[in-house]
Chain A
Amino acid sequence: DAGITQSPRYKITETGRQVTLMCHQTWSHSYMFWYRQDLGHGLRLIYYSAAADITDKGEVPDGYVVSRSKTENFPLTLESATRSQTSVYFCASRDRLTNEAFFGQGTRLTVV
């Protein structure tokens, strides 16, 4: 199916563990993004990527690592999870022609 998919949808992990959130898009969009959404803060940009092998920090990058070896995949890794990283994470890709962003369904991550 065409679109952007995130996995897992829900994840509970322990403090200090490494966890990777997956994002896959089928359109070959150049731009991809990771946001976190928390009450009182709205959507905040963690990292973004303009193309394969090109990534850059957003507003809240600390504690996160990204990679983009293939255009269609943009995984987000929490190297050592902390409770403050409990959040809903959204991946998005962007159509350069229309400038419209397409979001995945989100991953709800709980760090205990």
Chain B
Amino acid sequence: SQKIEQNSEALNIQEGKTATLTCNYTNYSPAYLQWYRQDPGRGPVFLLLIRENEKEKRKERLKVTFDTTLKQSLFHITASQPADSATYLCALDLGAGGTSYGKLTFGQGTILTVHP
């Protein structure tokens, strides 16, 4: 069966450290993988997208890696701050040959808490 798993429900780290979140999937062939941030009572907000033929993507303090052999994506927040505390969701964008089929399938999310 198809499954998307994010490594843990909750992750607690100290301010200034690097947070690393994991997204593993089975029996999918994603064209893209996306990461979203969700704050309590709000809808998810897009952060980064990485394509199946890309290994790494960066945006400011954020870095995403994508290993289609291991079927895994790692999401890093460097120099973390209390304001980074939120739920982070990975989403698979199914497709082939770099073309999306359109719909996104989400993992359950990891609640990140950054302590001052």
- A binding-site residues for B, Cβ under 8 Å: 31, 33, 35, 40-45, 48, 50, 58-59, 90, 92, 94, 98-106
Contacts and interface: CB of A to CB of B under 8 A. Distances in A.
Contact of B105 (A41, A45, A98, A106): A45
Given A45-B103, A99-B34, A99-B100, A106 B46 contact: no
A92 B45 CA distance: 10
Interface stretch (B53-61, B62-70, B73-81, B106-114): B106-114
Contact of B108 (A31, A41, A90, A103): A41
27 contacts: A31-B103, A33-B104, A42-B89, A42-B106, A42-B107, A42-B109, A43-B89, A43-B106, A44-B106, A48-B103, A50-B102, A90-B43, A94-B102, A94-B104, A98-B49, A99-B32, A99-B34, A99-B49, A101-B34, A101-B36, A101-B44, A101-B91, A103-B45, A104-B43, A105-B42, A105-B43, A106-B42
A103 B106 contact: no
Interface of B: 32, 34, 36, 41-46, 49, 89, 91, 93, 100, 102-109
B44 A43 contact: yes
Contacts of A90: 43-44
Contacts of A105: 42-43
A103 B34 contact: no
A41 B36 CA distance: 16
Nearest to B87: A42
Contacts of A40: 108
Nearest to A94: B102
A7 to B, nearest CB: 14
Contacts of A44: 106
Which residue, B32, B36, B104, B105, has most C-beta atoms of chain A within 10 A? Answer: B104
Contacts of B44: 43, 90, 101, 103
Nearest to B105: A45
A49 B83 CA distance: 35
